[in-house]
Structure 1
Amino acid sequence: MNQFKFKTMAVHESGLPEKPLVIFLHGGGAAGWMWQPVADLLGDSYRCWMPDLPGHGQSREAGRFRIRGAAQMVIDLVRAQAPDGRAHLVGLSEGAQVLVEMLSLDPGCIRSALVSSALLRPLPGMGWLASEGLLKATYVSSVAPFKNWDAYIRLNMKSAAGIPDQWFEPFKAEFQSLTAQSFADVMLENQRYRLPADLDKAHLPVLVLAGSREYAAMRQSARELAAALPNAKAYQFHLRRPASLAEQHNWPLNDPELFATVLRAWLDEEPLPEQFSALD
């Protein structure tokens, strides 16, 4: 996998340069590496860019993580370096929120979009996650003391993030790079983000997804996002094996073959696999 820098943002690249460009936006607490299994499966048909969003991975010098700021940086990347200033966009979790913001700010730079698990509503009982002070205190008590304890990092990786064991080293590096401020930034941006204005101007095709075992607020967010977009479809999905909520949420790492199949079907305008049903 190659890498280049756009301004202060690191972008990982794979696939064939002459093929259609797909840009993958990762979730909070991860980085572009989380898309590598999917990109490997698509490399014969697509050019894949996987940025490390600001505040993550090798883009920490790009500044603190803000959904709007990250969206504008990806827009600038597309306009400056993508063929014809447009690309297909894929986003998961916090990367999906960044993609929703892009749909509001500059839909013209997006050929099509796949939005998976974009939270746009408050989670019941999770109001404390919107307090910067409480989040920083949580970091001090539950993250900082365990930065060098591999067993704790593995437990967090599995139970909270749903990431498979083979990705321990990059997850550990991301975990150990957290500060109280960066931890609070990611959590606050995720919990505070709501459905933006101007989505009615985004006439491009958008596929909106949520896992059947995810929070009800996540599935309702998918419904509301699809309703706000002129040309969107919303589906819920099941993985092909039993999975926890976290594993289903992070499904590109837990079932990259399924994710690649779905993305190919979407881009080729073919039916989605049988695990997908309309989210009415």
Structure 2
Amino acid sequence: MPASMRRMTSSSTSNSGWYSSRDATLPIGDRTMSTSSWTTVGQPDTASDEGLFFTSLNSLAPVTVVLLHVGMSSHLEWSHTWPELTEYHLLIPDLPQHSRSRHVKPFSFGLAADHVAQMIRDHAHDGHAHMVGLSTGGFIAMEVIKRYPEVVTSAFLSGATPLKDMWKRINSQPKLAFLGLSVLLHSPKSLLFKATGWAPEFQNDELLKEIRRNNTSRLYETCTRETNNWDRSDMVDVGKRDKRIALVAGGKQDNVEGMRDMGQLLESLGSNDGRESRAFVVRDAIHAWNLQFPVLFARGIRAWIEKTPLPEAFEPLEKGVMLEEESSS
């Protein structure tokens, strides 16, 4: 594993308009400091072409958070979420074989975890970070926990649980699924938004361009295979690392019951921090709901990190408590 990672700054991160105007302060030693004091973009550093591309924001903030995107996407996926997290130092990479990390290949959860862990060691404050991952990014965050638990403080993960049999059957025909996604990505935007649930007000032409470029048959099939191979035994390995993990299901598209089961599994395997692991559902959320409700997504991240109550939209998936849709089916 290379000791240095490639650090660059995308043009979108240099626009001060991305940042939240929320007035917030955090304690620093015996005083408080406004979060606006560290709302800065890291300087470009292209010393190595071997590691992941990533954007570093708010580098003076004392706590590091890593944001990991969905498969076929890029770090730009988080462009409406990161302005709401200005009190944290953010590391936001492109995953292997995606966008500006296209040179890091072949893609696998293991390779991604190796590189993300090295990025944390080299660039996160004190060599550890809170992990945030969505879908593919969530699985990779858990792979980091399995392999390198020492670099992870806690995790906030959405849409990442072992697949149900129905989805495994769909994923067993990756070429057909890839074709369907390709057609959708090149359809009129009105159809794309309706099919995916991506809120039009958060539409990003640059992100859509990156998704189209990343969506190759080889990468799609690899991501599908890696997801299909993730099973309960992997979740057991994660639970044994005793990390405090929030598992969140998008109520409209995710496996809610599976998320409930995995949340209980992680809690049962924990001995200290892991005992605080919990599962939640956001009823109206799609799978990639950082592109639907980015402010709510950010509020959930902040509450989990700070150990404060999550927003009301996050309904705990507790044993014996069923959603209305489940009880009526």
TM-score range, shorter chain: 0.7 to 0.9
Closer, same or farther: CA 98–227 of 1 in aligned 2, 3 Å: farther
| Match of residue 234, structure 1, among 273, 278, 281 | 278
Quick one: distance in 2 between partners of 1:4 and 1:254?
32
Q: Does 1:167 align with 2:177?
A: no
Aligned amino acid, residue 251 of structure 2: S
Closer, same or farther: CA 13–181 of 1 in aligned 2, 3 Å: same
User: Which residue does 2:104 correspond to in 1?
Assistant: 62
SS of the aligned residue for 1:125 comes to helix
User: Which residue does 2:31 correspond to in 1?
Assistant: none
Alpha-carbon shift at residue 201 of structure 1 (Å): 4.3
Q: Does 1:178 align with 2:215?
A: yes
Closer, same or farther: CA 4–266 of 1 in aligned 2, 3 Å: farther
Alpha-carbon shift at residue 146 of structure 1 (Å): 7.4
| Match of residue 211, structure 1, among 250, 260, 272 | 250
Closer, same or farther: CA 127–9 of 1 in aligned 2, 3 Å: same
SS of the aligned residue for 1:224 comes to helix
Q: Does 1:251 align with 2:289?
A: yes
Quote the RMSD (CA, aligned, Å).
2.6
% identical aligned pairs: 26
Closer, same or farther: CA 83–123 of 1 in aligned 2, 3 Å: same
1:3-22 mapped onto 2 (5 Å cutoff): 7-22=50-65
SS of the aligned residue for 1:235 comes to strand
SS of the aligned residue for 1:61 comes to coil
Aligned amino acid, residue 278 of structure 2: A
CA contact (8 A) 2:97 2:106 kept: yes
User: Which residue does 1:189 correspond to in 2?
Assistant: 226
Structure of greater Rg:
2
SS of the aligned residue for 2:66 comes to strand
Quick one: distance in 1 between partners of 2:295 and 2:146?
30
CA contact (8 A) 2:117 2:144 kept: yes
Quick one: distance in 2 between partners of 1:88 and 1:8?
20
SS of the aligned residue for 2:96 comes to coil
Alpha-carbon shift at residue 66 of structure 1 (Å): 0.7
Quick one: distance in 2 between partners of 1:124 and 1:96?
20
Give the TM-score of the pair, scaled to structure 2.
0.72
Aligned amino acid, residue 163 of structure 1: W
Quick one: distance in 2 between partners of 1:189 and 1:51?
19
Higher relative contact order, structure no. (Cα contacts within 8 Å, ≥ 6 residues apart): 1
SS of the aligned residue for 1:126 comes to helix
User: Which residue does 1:74 correspond to in 2?
Assistant: 116
1:256-271 mapped onto 2 (5 Å cutoff): 256-271=294-309
Quick one: distance in 2 between partners of 1:51 and 1:154?
29
CA contact (8 A) 2:113 2:144 kept: yes
User: Which residue does 1:124 correspond to in 2?
Assistant: 165
Alpha-carbon shift at residue 56 of structure 1 (Å): 1.5
Aligned amino acid, residue 51 of structure 1: P
Quick one: distance in 1 between partners of 2:251 and 2:184?
33
Closer, same or farther: CA 37–137 of 1 in aligned 2, 3 Å: closer
User: Which residue does 2:147 correspond to in 1?
Assistant: 105
User: Which range moved further: 214-223 or 262-271?
Assistant: 214-223
User: Which residue does 1:224 correspond to in 2?
Assistant: 265
Quick one: distance in 2 between partners of 1:212 and 1:52?
27
| Matched pairs, number | 266
CA contact (8 A) 2:71 2:135 kept: yes
1:130-149 mapped onto 2 (5 Å cutoff): 130-131=171-172, 134-136=173-175, 138-139=177-178, 141-142=179-180, 149=186
CA contact (8 A) 1:91 1:97 kept: yes
